[in-house]
Amino acid sequence: MDGLYVESEQGKKANYPRFYRQALEQLAKEQRILSRKRKGSARREKQRVKVAKLQEKTATSGRTFFTTNQEN
């Protein structure tokens, strides 16, 4: 995941934790599955809920990690 490296003004690179990278990969996979479902189907609705839960979990875990591990 090359897009997950950020350079700061001091030239440091941030390497995101494994749980966050894996969650993003899983989210991308589930979104691809959702895109192949037929609109209006029950399976699409189930997949949409699954993606929404995973997206919320990923955002929360990332936000928690980044706010508790900031350098001062």
CB 47 within 8 A of CB 30: yes
Residue scoring higher pLDDT (1 or 50):
50
**Reported pTM:** 0.73
Residue-wise pLDDT tens digits, 23-42: 999 999 999 999 999 999 99
pLDDT above 60 (res 9): yes
Backbone angles phi, psi at 40, to 5 degrees: 90, -5
Q: Give the pLDDT of residue 71.
A: 62
Element (H, E) at 64: helix 42-68
Tokens coding 63: 């936000």
> Mean pLDDT over residues 35-63, rounded?
95
- Angle at which helices 18-35 and 42-68 cross, to 10°: 160
Q: Distance between CA atoms of 68 and 40, rounded to whole angstroms?
A: 41
